[in-house]
A and B are shown apart, each in its own frame.
Chain A
Amino acid sequence: MRTLIRLLAFLRPYRGRVILTALTAVGLMVCTVTLPYLTGRVIDDVLTGRQEDALTPIVIAVVVVGVVRFGLAFVRRYMAGWVSLAVEFDLRERMFGHLQRLSFAYFDRMPVGQLMSRATSDLQTVRFFLGYGLIFLFMHAFTLVLVSAILFWINPLLAALSLLIGPAMVAVAARSSRRSHPVLVDAQQKVGEMTQTAEESIVGVRVIKAFGQEDAQGERFAERSRAAFLRSMDANRLQAFYQPLMGFLPVLGLAVVLLVGGVLTIEGSMSLGEFVEFYLYLTLLMWPFRSIGMLVGNAQRAVASGQRIFEVLDATPDLDERPDARPLPAGGGHVRLEGVRFGYDPDRPVLDGFDLDIPAGRTIALIGATGSGKSTLTQLIPRYYDPQGGRVLLDGADVRDLRLDDLRRAVGMVSQEPFLFSATIRDNIAYGVPGAAEDAVLAAARLAQADPFIRALPEGYDTVVGERGYTLSGGQRQRLAIARAVVTDPRVLVLDEATASVDASTEREISDALRAVMAGRTTIIIAHRLSTIALADEIVLVDGGRPAARGTHDELYAMSALYREIHDQGLARPTDLVGREA
């Protein structure tokens, strides 16, 4: 019920139109009801009563009522369509806007497919209900009351008898929707699982093929499809039972009218015209009776969908900007972590009391075991996540006090697996600076050593990279990501294994260029190669959620056994290695 009320609130901006729709619907029903009345008049007054000159005016009245009904019906359809699309627009826009504000942690939990289905099919269900369903419910209810009143007015006894089917129909409708609802929801769930499998298989098709698992995956998909089929057959069986039943009940009502009404007419206590009128009016009621059951079902589905939508809209952006957030203070990118404690699951901290101070303009390298929290650490600076304890400062300001957009623009991130949009290379590079000058794009591409390979592509900077950039080689993707970060001219630059897939020669060229970029900004490098680490002024060794050691290469080598081990085992200069093994 609460969900329903919240859904109705989306109609509020369009109150005027909704009321207009309701009014036209009333007019429409009055017109529709008039037609059998006029037919009755023709039979009684003209045919039975022999008032021959009354025929023409009645026929003209029929035409006029038809025209008026046309006008009203157009307005009703137009308004209902308008409102329903407006609601869809608003809801979707709200949802999109809200998603933009939700934190990374939210998207870690929520699969893309789930969000998609809420923003599309659930939204459609709601819009149809708010736009059309409600009006129909209103129209049908109105028809029921109006026509029943007329029936009672014509002949109370007959009305009472024939309307006995009314409660029966409502009961059947209610029971049908009560029984079908859980089955339908479950069937929908099964379809969702099948969709999930389809999506996963297409996304992971490289792996499926690489291991020759096409058949096994096909079997998996078939299994999910079969489950969906079986469940929807359950729903089908219920529907097949109830719908024709709903078609049959009115027949009983009509039979009562034919029999009892016929006898009454023969006995002369009812005119033939009244009888025909009565019969036609009763047929008018069949449709509302049948639909109300369906509409109640729609309402239930809309509420279920509404719940799923509100689940998204109610997710609090736990990482929202403060109302009094301030702009970035002046500074050169002084980064400071004070006793930072953070875990994706708060009970299992990844960082535990992390202290780190990086003076403005410095370059430091983070090294440490896989999963030790290096990437996590860097993600706290642009506030992708908030720490559970301690604080992160940028140029003296707690990042939680800063305006989020400013902060994020001030920190350039080149992540481990860069996401590229299926857009042109130019648009991808310029992503962070909409409207970036051509020169800036070219300069950034050159800096990242991406220019030569881009120019070699058939359409150069206008080449559209495929989804997620899969048509580029790994190293090419990384270089685009570097260019994308550099173009924003960030205060702090984070290179998270940004050159892991780049060969030594290219890396050397990038490194040379990076040295120029790093000048004047704070840079954090995560890497496993000495060549890259050598770019840093200092090295920080991450272990056990804390900085285990910090210093220049020589200092660390002297100080830390762990560093010595790592160094000797891999970081070592090739000559050392060759020398030792030779």
Chain B
Amino acid sequence: MSTRPPGQGPASRVLGPAVERDPDDVRPNRVPRRVFRKLLPYFRPYAARTILTIALMVMVALTGLAGPALAQVAIDRGITAGDEAVLVAVVVVFVLAGLVGWLAGYWQSYLSGWVGERVLLDLRTKLFDHMMGLELGHHERQPTGRSVSRLTNDVEAVNMLVTDGATSLVVNGLTFLGAVGILLWYDWKLALAAFAIFPLLALGTGIFRVRSTRAYRHTRERVADVMSHLQENISGIRVVQGHGRQDQARREFIRVNRDYREANMETVRVSGVYFPGVELLAALGTALILYYGGNRVLDEDLTVGVMVAFIGYLGTFFDPIQQLSQLYNTFQSAVAALEKIFGVLETEPELTSAPGAPDLPPVAGAVRLEGVSFGYGREYVLHDVDLDIAAGETVALVGPTGAGKSTLAKLIARLYDPDEGRVLVDGHDLRMVSVPSLRAQLGIVPQEGHLFGGSIADNLRFARPGATDEDLRAALGMVGALEFVDSLPDGLDTDVQERGSRLSAGQRQLLSFARALVADPRLLILDEATSSIDLRSERRIEQALDTLLAGRTAIVIAHRLSTIRRADRIVVVEDGRVAEQGTHDDLMARGGRYAGLYSDWERAAA
């Protein structure tokens, strides 16, 4: 099964992430227009402001263009003609144009910032809500870093384009076009002479686009490698240090880091040729104008003012090209980011209720699985499971690890939907009722109890924000954690830190348990909820549960006999099937799997 030539062992490649690509990093360029069309609806609520912003951009561009033209008038009609009145008038207009440009610039800058950020705020919250709505399976397939990146880096990349980029695009585009128009209007012959450098410019820009697209994509991929390597090595730093693998990890990181640096050097090279190249062309253009224009001035065919204006506009003509090319990278990153964002937004949640599904009415808690089959991937983990749990009953699921006990629990909580068959609560198919109404009546203590950074009280209140401190203390008391919480310097307000890392594993479990109790559910699912808790505490919890569970349905997954024996019924799960079920005595009498399991307990204890 596992054959691998020697020397290609894990040493040659330390860990996966370094070579993992972000598969969502699609090639941009292909469909930018389509992507932007999808973004358009987000602007609709702010249509008036958007239009105003664009109008202001036009004004900014126009006042910018007015400068050289006014200078030309000043030189030709004022200075050369020796007319001071004209000169003064021109200067006044010049300053006025500047003032208008300033005011327009203020409003334009503010509004475009506002619209851009506002649109992205909407996009971001929508994206987040959508992500929360996606089924658990989706999140298990996606590394955390990637999802977080969608919400942060990717939205940020779009932000760069929408706020600065759009302004730059409109202003520079208009300036460029305006400069071309003005030059043609002044003197079309001289203009055409200056435009002689166009083909070269177009060719250079074309090559630049192709090469820089490639270089930037490469760089983005390498950056992603660096990020995931960092992320995993920092999250797993305790394992790295615990195994004395620092040097190895460091060597590996240097490799990833160097790859990134080399990829990025290519972008430096590409723009190192292109941008100075554009300036070179600008110098050539100046030379052309000086030569051809100079000769024509000598022939009295052209005024000095026009020639100076030409040289002035040549700048307003190359600047926008440079700016727009600079923008190209921003543009590409934004397209790539938008593709990824819409990729998530267009992922249909697999786990939806029928549209307008009614709320689940308050339930008694009878659970029924009918012919349920389910798999995370290609292969089924559960096969044709039938199970009936009466309201108020406590059922223990036992069986080997990997048998599918947790999976079964997750199906009942509707964290997944079965591939075949159905799950019913009080006769309601879970797919036919709204999800929040189901979850509101259900409490699950998952095997991996996760605490959020923040205070103990915040964590406990998670499922029921309205719970009073008394409720919290009652729940803590029930799981026997009250003493320990009270012994902390800040009591309920103690910050447990990221993932609850300030607590021992057992304490985390206790809090996760208490959190489910605060929710006060009709249906309680305990998935190895006490595996890391010492026996005395567990004993106390069990006694508390006896009262707590009265009248509620409970599904308990555990490996300890004392817990299992308390259940009304024991269900043995094996290889994704219900192997047998009944009370302890029934099952012992039958002499089947459970009896076997039981004898293992006995022997182990002997």
Contacts and interface: CB of A to CB of B under 8 A. Distances in A.
B2 A461 contact: yes
Interface string B306-335: 011001100100000000000000000000
B562 A214 contact: no
A436 B9 CA distance: 7
Interface in B1-39: 1-2, 4, 6, 9-11, 13-17, 20
B2 A426 contact: yes
B189 interface: no
**Chain B interface helix/strand/loop/mixed:** helix
Contacts of B233: 96, 99
B236 to A, nearest CB: 5
Interface stretch (B44-52, B176-184, B424-432, B593-601): B593-601
A254 interface: yes
B231 A89 contact: no
Nearest to B146: A202
B444 A210 contact: yes
Nearest to A422: B16
Interface in B118-166: 118, 121, 124-125, 128-129, 131-133, 136, 139-141, 143-144, 147-148, 151-152
Interface string A516-541: 00000000000011111010000000
A70 interface: yes
Interface in B240-285: 240-250, 253-254, 257-258, 261, 264-265, 267-269, 271-273, 275-277, 279-280, 282-284
B392 to A, nearest CB: 22
B491 interface: no
Contact of A504 (B272, B297, B534, B600): B600
Interface stretch (B107-115, B382-390, B467-475): B107-115
B453 A529 contact: no
Given A258-B87, A504-B604, A464 B436 contact: no
A2 interface: no
A42 interface: yes
B561 interface: yes
A438 B6 CA distance: 8
A171 to B, nearest CB: 17
A371 interface: yes
Interface string B432-451: 00011011101110111010
B110 A237 contact: yes
B231 A116 contact: yes
Contact of A200 (B70, B446, B453): B453
Contact of B606 (A196, A266, A431, A573): A573
A488 B243 contact: yes
A20 to B, nearest CB: 14
Contacts of B519: 211
B538 interface: yes
B237 A46 contact: no
Contacts of A233: 113-114, 117
A409 B237 CA distance: 15
B280 A66 contact: yes
A537 B236 CA distance: 33
A116 B307 CA distance: 55
B238 A208 contact: no
Given A69-B280, A416-B532, A206 B448 contact: yes
Nearest to A46: B294
A262 B92 CA distance: 13
Interface in B284-313: 284, 286-287, 290-291, 294-295, 297-298, 304, 307-308, 311-312
A555 interface: no
A211 B439 contact: yes
Contacts of B152: 191, 194-195, 198
Contacts of A101: 246
A244 B59 CA distance: 13
Given A104-B238, A474-B528, A531-B605, A417 B16 contact: no
Interface string A296-337: 000000000000000000000000000000000000000000
A389 interface: no
Nearest to B16: A423
A59 B289 CA distance: 9
A258 B102 contact: no
B462 A434 contact: no
A55 B294 contact: yes
Nearest to A529: B560
Contacts of B315: 283
B447 A570 contact: no
A112 interface: yes
Given A42-B290, A461-B1, A210 B439 contact: yes
Contacts of A35: 283, 286
Nearest to B293: A42
Contacts of B11: 434-435
B559 interface: yes
A7 interface: no
Q: Which of A66, A376, A424, A438 has the most CB of B within 10 A?
A: A66
A247 B444 CA distance: 61
Contacts of A199: 144, 148
Given A92-B257, A432-B245, A47 B304 contact: yes
Size bracket of the B interface: 35 or more
A457 B232 CA distance: 24
A152 interface: no
A229 B121 contact: yes
Nearest to B540: A569
Which of B13, B124, B239, B598 is most buried by chain A, counting CB atoms within 10 A of its CB? B239
B173 interface: no
A96 B253 CA distance: 8
Contacts of A471: 140, 376
A237 B453 CA distance: 34
B298 A259 contact: no
B109 A240 contact: yes
A504 B601 contact: yes
A89 to B, nearest CB: 5
Contact of B110 (A63, A226, A236, A283): A236
Interface in A248-285: 248, 251-252, 254-255, 258-259, 262-263, 265-266, 272, 275-276, 279-280, 283
Interface stretch (B205-213, B361-369, B505-513, B544-552): B505-513
A531 B234 CA distance: 36
A2 to B, nearest CB: 27
A55 B443 contact: no
A134 interface: no
B80 A505 contact: no
A474 B406 contact: yes
Contacts of A460: 1-2
Interface string B491-516: 00000011101111111011000010
B275 A212 contact: no
Contact of A229 (B107, B117, B248, B565): B117
Contacts of B235: 112, 419, 468
Contact of B241 (A47, A120, A408, A530): A408
A505 B293 CA distance: 96
Interface stretch (A71-79, A175-183, A353-361, A391-399): A71-79
A436 B559 contact: no
A238 to B, nearest CB: 10
A88 interface: yes
A115 interface: yes
Contacts of A534: 604-606
A566 B562 CA distance: 13
Contacts of A206: 136, 415, 446, 448, 450
B261 A198 contact: no
A148 interface: no
7 contacts: A212-B438, A237-B110, A254-B71, A265-B79, A404-B244, A426-B2, A432-B243
Given A214-B132, A259-B87, 6 more contacts: A77-B272, A93-B250, A232-B117, A258-B74, A466-B143, A501-B559
- Shortest 5 CB-CB distances between A and B: which pairs? A212-B439, A475-B401, A66-B283, A244-B105, A531-B604
